[in-house]
């Protein structure tokens, strides 16, 4: 396969899990019942995502979905996000947001995430390769910023700026 000739870092970004999620995004579309919504906008490339959450009375995310257009990285990230947060208490989902943005933006291994979240975020590690592409980190964090905004019930769109 010719792709093997590519630099490892490029392969790290466009790995099969990312390509799979970008081609077949999970939970694409607006769920039937929605309690929280937020938009994520990346003015640089025009990516636009709308993230939906259905949070029940106990503060647990019953379901999540998203719509929008974007590059493979932003779509895959949104898809992985929905898989991650469905079934989580809101507080844990917000902790996931903090952990993913920390991982992608600083890359340092400061305070390790809680073990249970670490396991929960296993698949999201597929996005770690974008750390080598500063111009693309915003694509990977876009949906997670929207998640945080939705949880905060922000009316303003989350942007990457």
The yes or no reply on residue 139 touching other proteins (CB under 8 A) is yes
How far are the Cα atoms of 11, 50, 94, 98, 153 from residue 149, in angstroms, in the given order?
31, 11, 10, 12, 6
- CB hemisphere CA count around 81 (13 angstroms): 34
Closest approach of other proteins to the CB of residue 33, in Å: 29
Residues 34-93, interacting with other proteins (CB under 8 A): 44-48, 69-73
Residue 151: both structure tokens together: 């949880």
Among left, alpha and beta (phi > 0; psi -120 to 50; other), residue 27 is left
Residues 100-119, interacting with other proteins (CB under 8 A): none
CB nearer to other proteins: pick between 8 and 119: 8
| Contact with other proteins (CB under 8 A) among 19, 34, 37, 95 | 19
Coil, helix or strand at residue 52: strand
| Contact with other proteins (CB under 8 A) among 115, 135, 156, 161 | 135
Interaction site with other proteins (CB under 8 A): 1-3, 6-7, 9-10, 13-14, 19, 44-48, 69-73, 133, 135-136, 139
């Amino acid at each position: 396969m010719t792709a093997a000739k590519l630099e490892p870092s490029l392969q790290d970004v466009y790995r099969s899990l990312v390509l799979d999620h970008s081609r077949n995004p999970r939970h694409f579309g607006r769920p039937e019942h929605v309690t929280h919504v937020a938009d994520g906008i990346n003015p640089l490339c025009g990516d636009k995502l709308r993230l939906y959450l259905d949070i029940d009375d106990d503060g647990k995310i019953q379901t999540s979905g998203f719509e929008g257009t974007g590059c493979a990285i932003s779509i895959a990230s949104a898809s992985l996000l929905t898989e991650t947060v469905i079934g989580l208490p809101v507080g844990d989902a917000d902790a996931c947001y903090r952990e993913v943005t920390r991982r992608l933006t600083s890359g340092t291994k400061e305070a390790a995430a809680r073990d249970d979240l670490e396991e929960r975020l296993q698949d999201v590690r597929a996005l770690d390769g974008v750390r080598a592409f500063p111009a693309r980190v915003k694509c990977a964090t876009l949906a997670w910023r929207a998640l945080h905004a939705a949880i905060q019930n922000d009316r303003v769109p989350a942007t990457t700026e």
